[in-house]
Structure 1
């Protein structure tokens, strides 16, 4: 039984400021160690529950955050970017379930460091009218492969927004949002203990889980944070301008939806 783990950083206990996710400072170095420890807890819980293999994909920012020499050696690790399907690179239909660790609520939502994919570019992302966090988008991609999301770890706002989408999912709430950059968090040790126990419970009860599917065809609508960003996105030939700051795309698959989002995200760097 194979388990896939997509690891983000904003939902990690003790992470509350943008500095925690930005390489080049002491706060980031501390946060990436905490991120690695929480991923190790999820790996250990997966094996405790009966997993035969675990694949971890580093899914935050530069995607070289996890410390390979500190990672549980039983797991394999995907690092770097760009890579196909980004935060869920490496997932296929052979996996029994996906875990999302260190995840957070979506753009425009309450929650610690809430955003969707790119906080500079995106004010909101909708697929067939569903307001999407990152877990929504990638959970739907996993669902299109027949793979359920079995574990979410992060703050209480992630749980409120995303847990209802995933039948049977287990959640480990490691902090409660007091604002976009403030939280009341468990200690790192308590957070890891909770994640390990919840991950084990998730694997032992996978029969309760069902894939989350957004039926196609898909209409992707993106609200950008400025008119200039929407001008840029509209240069894509298949984009439709639907408002001064918004564009839309038609897509046959969730993989294509994710491809368009990540294309615009990369393009947005030209306007920073």
Structure 2
């Protein structure tokens, strides 16, 4: 069995402030070590549960956060950007299932550091009528490749909004959110113990799990931006329809297409910073 471990940082135990997610300071260096430890816990659990191959996708920011020299040597690493499949790169390599480690709640929710893809530009992402965060969007992308989602880890708000999308998946609550930048967290060591145990148990459940499939194509994506200026910029894309001052709509034949457009918008938004 081949497993893809997609690792973000906002849902990692102990991470509660944006400085911990940005390079160039000591708090980030400590947080990326916790991120690496949680990735290793998921890797060990996957192998202990019977996985034969584990790929790890560094899924935060620059996609260059995990400490490769500290990563379990049995795993392979997907790092750096750009890449078409973004947080789900590697799933196309015939992966059977996905572990989402250190994930966070969607934009405008009360979870720790909640956002969807780009906190500067994206306020709300709706696909075929369903509001989705990163786990839903990328879980649906994994589903197009026939891969289920077997493990979810992050805060309580993330789990409460996400678990219904992935019936039967294992979960680990690493912290209880008290707002965007405050929480009650497990210790990093305890979180890793729980992630290891859940990852091992998740492997046994994979044959019963079904990939996430949203309603049939075409997929209509409605994006609400953080400002009208961002909508101005994104509407330069020729297939986009302006809906209101800060909202727009476009279609894709697959979730792969939808996410490539969203990630292109995210990259475009840096010219407005």
Rounded Cα–Cα distance in structure 2 between residues aligned with 1:93 and 1:222: 30
Gaps of at least 5 residues in structure 1 are none
Provide the residue aligned with 2:262 in structure 1.
Answer: 261
Residue 30 of structure 1 is matched in structure 2 by 30
CA contact (8 A) 2:110 2:178 kept: no
- Following superposition, the deviation at residue 93 of structure 1 comes to 6.6
- The reply to whether residue 138 of structure 1 matches residue 138 of structure 2 is yes
Instruction: Report deviation, 1:239.
Output: 0.5
- Is residue 7 from structure 1 mapped to residue 7 from structure 2 by the alignment? yes
The RMSD of aligned alpha carbons is 0.8
Q: How many residues align?
A: 272
1:160-218, Cα deviation, whole Å (9 max, x unpaired): 01111012111011111011101101111100000000000100121231111112110
Cα deviation digits, residues 103-149 of structure 1 (max 9, x gap): 00101112000000000000000100111110000000011111100
The aligned residue for residue 79 of structure 2 is: 79
The 5-angstrom pairing of residues 69-108 of structure 1 reads 69-92=69-92, 94-108=94-108
Shift of 1:90: 1.5
CA distance in 1, matches of 2:241, 2:33: 42
Mapping of 1:58-73 within 5 angstroms?
A: 58-73=58-73
Paired with 1:184 and 1:207, the residues of 2 have a C-alpha distance of 34
Match of 1:233 in 2: 234
Query: Quick one: distance in 2 between partners of 1:83 and 1:144?
Result: 17
TM-score relative to the length of structure 2: 0.98
Residue 270 (structure 1) aligns with: 271
Measure, in 2, the Cα distance between the counterparts of 1:238 and 1:224. 17
State the shift of 1:94 in Å.
1.9
* Larger deviation, residues 32-41 vs 83-92: 83-92
* Pair 1:223-2:217 in alignment: no
Deviation at 1:267, TM superposition (A): 0.4
Could you list the runs of 5+ residues in structure 2 that have no partner in the other structure? none
Moved more, 27-36 or 158-167: 158-167
2:54 aligned counterpart, secondary structure: strand
